[in-house]
Chains A and B, each alone.
Chain A
Amino acid sequence: MRRGLLLLPPLAMLALPFIASAQDMPGSMQAKNNTAEGGKIFKEICAACHLPDARGTGAIPALAKDANLADPAYPIGVLAKGKGAMPPMDDILTPAQMAAVITYVRTNFGNAYPQPVTEADVKRLGKP
């Protein structure tokens, strides 16, 4: 093989969109989760990792009594963009669903931040 043919280094070639389908994955398309209620969204999405009582486990942080929730910008940023091992949730939850579940967590599990988070807040603060 004539290496001179490679106009770009191999890694640049691989960093292309078709790699997105290189993972092992199910061959189905999921129905959209249309749940609107914050508590239900917590149960159906967040509890998978943070556990139903929000106490977290191992490297997964607790959301119970979480001072980080005082400023809505923090949880909005985490949901919209991901953080550490947590993937972004923008492909699963709409801004309205994110607002509902953040509001729920901010007012439950020993958290008392009564000011609701709105869809507009999520759209404003969750931008990439």
Chain B
Amino acid sequence: MNDVTQPSRRQLLTLIGRMGGAAAMYQAMTALGHAAETQFTGPPVLSGAKPGASVVVLGAGLAGMVAAYELEKAGYSVKILEFQDRPGGRNYSLRGGDSFTESDGTVQKVTFAPGNYVNPGPWRIPHHHKCLLHYCRQFGVALEPFIQLNHNGFIHSSDAFGGKPMRYREVAVDFKGHTSELLAKALGAGALDQSVTAEDKEKLLEALRNWGLLDANMAYTSSVHVSSQRGYDRPPGGGINGAPTPSQIAKLSDVFSPQVWTAMSFYFNYVMQTTMFQPVGGMDMIGKAFAKHVGKSITYNAKVTKVAQNGKGVTVSYQDVPSGKVNTVSADWCVCTIPLSIIRQVEMQVGPKLAAAMKAVPYAGHIKMGLEFKRRFWEEDDAIYGGHSFTDQAIGQLSYPNDRFFSNGPAVLLGAFTSGAGAFQLAGMTPAERIEAALKQGEVFHPQYRKEYLSGVSVPWTRVPWILGCTSRWSEENRAAHYQNLVALDGRVVLAGEHASYYGGWMEGSMLSGLDAIAQIHKRASAA
């Protein structure tokens, strides 16, 4: 039936599965068009909800609101309790007139010009996050490109290139060129003859010559040819001085700075690949769009203190924060999207497995800073339109605004986005100290910083009172021990949120988890 030289797709996949394990097979299946790129295939179809069936949702972030939206659509009666005075959770934006209070009581006031904003939480949307994009489309949330890969952004490392920032274009082309030359040398010396056939060796040498822009001697050297990728000292022009002059390639030892391949590798990540999007006017447009549909069901300023359940239903106690008054809500089922980092402040009547899972997951602490400048000098002086510049300093990176290119007047850039040691270091400072650090470190890229600076705000997630962290940080051990227990319906309570997903820290993960939570409830409710 099957030609010996033409294995069937099934045989091929089985072979790949045996040889390369599940990951290889999954990737091969994707390549062959078998596996989907996202788990979202459309909104859930929850037909036949029992009349009067009710659900209380804890948290009006995206997980909670998508759950509420679909439950209401299916005929459930839904109530949402939200600790803050606004919808969206981590999906939010800070604009002029807003203030941000840290967990130690420190207040920052935002003074950005009208139209300017910073997205302290989620800020970019991969093109394959189809669940999120589905609801943006459905609710009419206008999206625009998020300029992810900008070849003209900078790469900076204190211990490479003499501490001088280089354009991403320059170092990426040099990395490619130097590694191609080395591999060509190894091939030429016969060092890889055990690994490649003579025919493949010829093909690879040809590839390296073209891919690496090597010269006739298979060396990576400065030339106009190389400059056609890495840029010129004098770019091509017209007339008498039209001929370009080449730029000088960087030294091999500088190019192998980890900062170079870290940035190059970063753009290969599935979640970081172009095309990416952002909502026009701020990320909170998504949360606000959901609130237009489920807002009437939200009780704001409600601090949940206790979740009790028995065989018949759930009773949630909450405090109205302004008055201190304690109320209760009863429902048949509960979707709890409260972050694990603060859920221990809630008395949860759940089984031991879920209780253990809730305590097991650590949180990462990112920081973001928005800096407003008098003008777009990164565009006007440096020809950087969106995208990022990376550094090994605590601020981690700069990200340039992706909207209103070429416009006059003040603009906000992201002056820090970092996690780990850099984020802790900045978070431990006062707001004024953070600004000073961001200006000092950012000046490495842009000497215009001090002259053009207007104002800034810093959001260290470890000091955001309603979450005390940024995103869940699952280890493989924790996944194996606790993930299934965390996401499973426990009696009449089910957890949802980015922490209950394999897309931690992404809105897509929150929403897919919210949809899975209500599918579990609906299935159990329909079976009862």
Contact = CB atoms under 8 A, between A and B. Distances in A.
B325 to A, nearest CB: 21
Interface in A49-98: 49, 51-52, 57-60, 82, 84-88, 91-92
B465 interface: yes
Interface residues of A, number: 47
B117 interface: no
A57 B105 CA distance: 10
A23 B506 CA distance: 7
| Prevailing SS type, chain A contact patch | loop
Contacts of A47: 424, 427-428
Contacts, number: 167
Nearest to A21: B269
B342 interface: yes
B139 interface: no
A30 B460 contact: no
Contacts of B318: none
Interface in B424-457: 424-428
A54 to B, nearest CB: 12
Interface residues of B, number: 78
A17 B22 CA distance: 12
Nearest to A15: B479
A23 B390 contact: no
A28 interface: yes
Contacts of B468: 49, 57-60, 85
A30 B428 contact: no
A128 B345 CA distance: 28
A15 B391 CA distance: 31
Contacts of B228: none
Nearest to A88: B362
B29 interface: yes
Interface string A25-36: 111111101000
Interface in B286-329: none
Contact of A85 (B22, B362, B394): B362
Contacts of B421: 30, 33, 44-45, 92
A30 B396 CA distance: 7
Contact of B23 (A7, A16, A57): A16
Nearest to B259: A29
Contacts of A88: 362
B379 interface: no
Nearest to A56: B103
A26 B428 contact: no
A7 B22 contact: yes
Given A28-B390, A57-B468, A22 B29 contact: no
Given A5-B34, A58-B342, A44 B23 contact: no
A88 B420 CA distance: 11
B364 A23 contact: yes
Contacts of A87: 362-364, 473
Nearest to A57: B103
Contacts of A21: 269-271
Contacts of B40: none
Interface stretch (B56-64, B67-75, B185-193, B497-505): B497-505
A29 B26 CA distance: 29
Nearest to B478: A82
B104 interface: yes
B258 interface: yes
Contacts of A19: 502
Contacts of B34: 1, 5
Nearest to A43: B428
Nearest to A91: B420
A82 B463 CA distance: 18
Contacts of B484: 11
A14 B463 CA distance: 32
Nearest to A26: B396
Contact of B262 (A27, A48, A49, A60): A27
A12 B397 CA distance: 34
A8 B22 contact: yes
B505 A28 contact: no
Nearest to A14: B502
B29 A5 contact: yes
Given A28-B392, A49-B424, 14 more contacts: A5-B14, A8-B22, A24-B124, A24-B505, A26-B396, A27-B263, A28-B263, A28-B391, A29-B392, A30-B396, A57-B103, A84-B344, A84-B360, A85-B362
